[in-house]
Amino acid sequence: MTILTLSSQVLYGHVGNAVADFTLKRLGHPVIAVPTVVLSNHKGYSDTVGEVFGPDLLRDFFSALERRGALEDLSAVQTGFIATAGQAQTIFDFLRELRQSKPDLPIIVDPVMGDKGKLYVDPGLVAVFRERVPSLATLITPNAFEAQTLAGHDPSTLDDLLDPLIAGGFASGLITSAETLLSASSERAILCFENGQHQIIRHPGLSFARDPNGVGDFVAALSAGLHGQGTLAERTERIASALVALLTATQQAGGPELALVTAQDQWVQALG
């Protein structure tokens, strides 16, 4: 069954839909990849050119897909980079309509807002994510900074982070870069939580001169592609293993982008 992914599209490199589309297809899923923006490359480079798609065009995309019957056999939806609050409202209105006709449809939301203490999207998006996502998302996949932003404060403990998220309606999540919330360690960590319980999945850390972009997109895509297979903790273990395999190959390749395609056999095998 088909997975719908809504995120950025780049001509060069591996972020957004350039990660999600390939990753999900490699797992055997047909994919409909709707772009929120089209860019030459991600913004980690010295220059970027491209265009943000307005809410009206996104609505036209959704209507055309409905006329084709392309959304009838969806098995999951995954959202990634959303450029503006107007885009977000349009996307979440569309997902609300989908949810009404498909009440059991898994919706995985990666609330892309920033990283390492820096917000790099329209600040108005934060309020939209807080207001609209809890009623829609089956699972959220923020990094630690994004989880803190959703919670509204810098936590001193994991409970300080999870309690306001759960109270805000975010019932299930997978938080990357969770090592920043823990005692100093050379290991990295992913924090998963659901049904009031949480578990920390640790994995080896790898050093890069500049951390490759697209890691969160890879985790979110796998979260959609593996949804329903075992428990959330079991899926997170598999995702962490695949991530380490991908990053190891990326480090060995020495390039600026994730070795998503060239290392596909390694990360697929690591999924188990």
Give the model's confidence band at 186: pLDDT under 50 very low, under 70 low, under 90 confident, else very high: confident
What angle do helix axes 17-26 and 215-225 make, rounded to 10 degrees?
40
Instruction: Kindly tell me if the per-residue pLDDT of 184 is higher than 80.
Output: no
Please, what is the average pLDDT of the chain?
96
* Residue range 5-27: mean pLDDT, rounded: 98
User: Which residue, among 167, 169, 240, 163, has the nearest Cα to 206 in the 3D structure?
Assistant: 240
pLDDT of residue 193: 97
Instruction: Kindly tell me if the per-residue pLDDT of 128 is higher than 90.
Output: yes
**pTM value > 0.95:** yes
* Residue range 123-151: mean pLDDT, rounded: 97
Strand-pairing partners, residue 6, are 34, 79
Instruction: Kindly tell me if the per-residue pLDDT of 214 is higher than 90.
Output: yes
pLDDT of residue 42: 94
Residues of the chain above pLDDT 90, percent: 91
pLDDT of residue 179: 92
Tens digits of per-residue pLDDT, 37-67? 999 999 889 999 999 999 999 999 999 999 9
Give the model's confidence band at 2: pLDDT under 50 very low, under 70 low, under 90 confident, else very high: very high
Instruction: Kindly tell me if the per-residue pLDDT of 198 is higher than 80.
Output: yes
Give the model's confidence band at 116: pLDDT under 50 very low, under 70 low, under 90 confident, else very high: confident
